[in-house]
Amino acid sequence: MNRKQALSMYLIGTFGQVLGVSLLVCFLRAGGVKVDFTSSLGIIAVALAGLSSAFWGSLASIGYHQSSFKQILKDFFQVKDSLVNYCLVLVFLLLDFLPFIFGGKITTQSLVLLVGLFFKALLFGGVEEIGWRYFFQPTLQEKIPYFSATLITFLAWSSWHLFYFYIDGSLGVIQLFPFLVGLLTNCFILSALYHKTQNLWLCVMTHACINSLSQILVNEEVWLSIVSKILIISLAIMIARKKYVTVKEEK
């Protein structure tokens, strides 16, 4: 399987699966069936849609990179890494939640709830990294620069999310523009982490941390939010550029 075939298989498979589930959900709702997180049928639909990027990312990695499900599973749980890389994750998280640090509030004091949200985010969020960061963007970067690959990944990832939000029933209540801006920022965070560390777990963990913390931390400092996003994108680009220069010098 060549590069174009692998990318096509991933996109067609991922969007085909999530679109198929969306159509099924649409027909069921039209027939009066309740399909959301509060019903067993809804949870199954959400799981099928949410696993689409991971499933097709795995198949594409196996076909193109000659990987295996065993290797992908091992990479998914590759917790062991350098302290420097974990510190980088912490820096990105601190920047991402900078507005909260300087004037936000926390909606719960329950540690159990936070842990529960984190593990839920691993299954309904972190697993997406197998497709978008483990396969899709690195494969794009074989031919195009980091910045362009990140923007393309963002466009595909955000489109996928709109189908996903329709399926889980949240499409009508999300604030689309703030969500897209946040997703773009997350694209730079996660892509920079994988670009530098080549560690899937760090992306999975960071994705889950962002998703879970976002549900309990509230901030209203718009200007701080803008500053934090500019800092994040700038840092991500610097990291990608530094690695590129280092690799070029080694050659």
Which pLDDT score is estimated for 217?
82
Residue 114 structural domain: 75-250
Q: Is residue 129 part of a domain?
A: yes
The answer to whether the beta carbons of residues 13 and 59 sit under 8 Å apart is yes
Q: Where are the alpha helices (H) located in the chain, listed in sequence order?
A: 3-30, 40-50, 52-64, 69-76, 83-96, 98-101, 111-123, 129-131, 137-140, 146-168, 176-197, 200-214, 222-250
Q: Could you give the number of structural domains in the chain?
A: 1
In a domain, 39, yes or no: no
pLDDT tens digits for range 168-211: 888 888 889 999 999 999 999 999 999 999 999 999 999 999 99
Identify which of 194, 78, 52 has the alpha carbon closest to the alpha carbon of residue 131. 52
pLDDT of residue 100: 85
Helix (H, G, I), strand (E, B) or coil at 106: strand
Residue 89 counted as domain residue: yes
pTM of the full structure: 0.91
Q: Read out DSSP for 46-81?
A: HHHHHTHHHHHHHHHHHHHS---HHHHHHHHT----
Low-confidence ranges of the chain (pLDDT < 70): 220, 243-251
Look at residue 50 and tell me if it is in a domain: no
What pLDDT sits at residue 248?
43
Tens digit of each residue's pLDDT (9 = 90 or more) over 25-55: 999 999 988 888 788 888 999 999 999 999 9
Residue 103 lies in a domain: yes
Q: Are 17 and 10 in contact (CB under 8 A)?
A: no
Q: Does residue 33 lie in a domain region?
A: no
The 3-state DSSP class for residue 171 equals coil
The answer to whether 89 and 202 have CB atoms below 8 angstroms apart is yes
Euclidean distance between CA atoms 106 and 216, whole angstroms: 6
156 located within any domain? yes
Q: Does residue 54 lie within any of the structural domains?
A: no
Q: What is the pLDDT of residue 39?
A: 87
Separation between Cα atoms, residue 209 and residue 215, nearest integer Å: 10
Phi, psi of 112, deg, nearest 5: -60, -40
